[in-house]
């Protein structure tokens, strides 16, 4: 039976010791492996390299699990080691146990910076993996791409062209389908207005994907001075102001750089302007 997230936290917390120094990547990888074994007792989980696990289940191909994001987040908040590891373990376990074909009604668009896929491939090569997992990627602008994924209750599963073909989804229909699913999955977007900059909220997982919902940015309800200028420094932060609001743009640029540098799940510190129905570099 699949163990609960709370149980994993408790098990991990028992092994967390107060230490003056951070766990090394090697130590963190071993602690993570032990936690993943608890969640996936029927799988064989081995350490391939620091921050790189190999996960193999009966009758399944071997999959690589890279722990860079988890370790980076832990490094910023070492006192939250148990919670961080438990969250990533829970997500990886669900992905490893996923079975069946891709569900077209759960396909969503995820906004990433252009270097994301290259980083994954580079990390896989550096760790000796034969190849990084395949993805379905579409260009959004010169800095951003859309990576298509399957949304599940606890995880986001990226998939490849073969999965898309087996699900019977044509590539030219993919974007419209994913955006329709996004509208259905997300809570209603809401603008929290401020004197210089404002924030757009809609849950936490797909906030940058709001860039694809034209009805938000075509609306005159945002009330900005000039063109809409936005920042998406992390996956759960979307800030905006007007291009004619000079102090707002200055503050937006400062916050974008600071949040992208300090926050978890960093995306980009660039600013973008909504022009002619699309976002381009500001």
| 37-56 pLDDT per residue, tens | 988 888 889 998 898 888 88
pLDDT of residue 187 exceeding 80, the answer is yes
Query: Tokens representing 247?
Result: 């102090």
- Residue 218 CA to its chain's centroid (Å): 26
> Residue 90: its pLDDT value, please?
82
**Distance, CA of 124 to CA of 128 (rounded, Å):** 6
- Residues 94-115: what's their mean pLDDT? 83
Lowest mean pLDDT among 12-21, 184-193, 231-240: 12-21
| 266-277 pLDDT per residue, tens | 899 999 999 999
User: pTM for the whole thing?
Assistant: 0.72
- Residues 65-84: what's their mean pLDDT? 87
Q: Which residue has the higher pLDDT, 132 or 193?
A: 193
Domain ranges of the chain: 5-97, 104-185, 190-281
> Residue 100: its pLDDT value, please?
65
pLDDT of residue 229 exceeding 90, the answer is yes
Q: Following DSSP, what letter does each residue of the chain receive, concatenated? A: -PPPHHHHHHHHHHH----SSPPPHHHHHHHHHHHHHHH-TTSEEEEEETTEEEEE-TTS--EEEE-HHHHHHHHH-GGGHHHHHHHHHHHHHHHHH--SS--GGGEEEEEEETHHHHHHHHHHHHTT-S-PPP--EEE-SSSEEEEEEEE-SS-EEE--HHHHHHTT--HHHHHHHHHHHHHHHSPPPEEE--SS-EEEES-SSSGGGGGG-HHHHS-GGG--SSSEEEEEEETTEEEEEETT-HHHHHHHHHHHHHHHHHSSSB----EEEEETTEEEE-
Neighbours of 72 (CB within 10 A): 14
Residue whose token pair is 């969503």: 108
pLDDT band at 128 (very low <50, low <70, confident <90, very high): low
- Residues 59-66: what's their mean pLDDT? 68
- Residues 84-113: what's their mean pLDDT? 84
> Residue 97: its pLDDT value, please?
67
């Amino acid at each position: 039976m699949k163990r609960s997230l709370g149980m994993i936290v408790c098990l991990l917390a028992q092994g967390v010791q107060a230490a003056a120094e951070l766990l090394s990547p090697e130590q963190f990888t071993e602690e993570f492996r032990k936690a993943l074994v608890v969640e996936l007792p029927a799988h064989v989980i081995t350490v391939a390299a620091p921050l790189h696990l190999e996960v193999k289940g009966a009758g399944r191909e071997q999959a690589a699990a890279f722990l860079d994001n988890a370790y980076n987040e832990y490094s910023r908040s070492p006192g939250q080691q148990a919670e961080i590891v438990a969250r990533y373990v829970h997500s990886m376990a669900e992905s490893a146990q996923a079975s069946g074909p891709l569900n077209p009604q759960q396909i969503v668009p995820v906004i990433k910076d252009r270097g994301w896929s290259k980083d994954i491939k580079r990390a896989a090569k550096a760790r000796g993996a034969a190849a990084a997992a395949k993805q379905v990627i579409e260009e959004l602008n010169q800095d951003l791409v859309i990576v298509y994924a399957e949304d599940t209750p606890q995880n986001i599963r990226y998939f490849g062209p073969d999965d898309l073909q087996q699900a019977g989804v044509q590539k030219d229909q993919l974007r419209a389908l994913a955006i329709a699913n996004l509208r259905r999955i997300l809570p209603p977007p809401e603008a929290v207005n401020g004197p210089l900059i404002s924030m757009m909220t809609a849950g936490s997982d797909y906030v940058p994907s709001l860039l694809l919902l034209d009805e938000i940015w075509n609306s005159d309800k945002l009330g900005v001075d000039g063109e809409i200028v936005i920042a998406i420094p992390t996956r759960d932060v979307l800030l905006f102001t007007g291009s004619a609001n000079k102090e707002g743009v200055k503050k937006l640029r400062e916050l974008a750089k600071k949040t992208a540098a300090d926050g978890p799940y960093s995306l980009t510190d660039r600013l973008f302007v909504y022009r002619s129905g699309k976002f381009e570099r500001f």
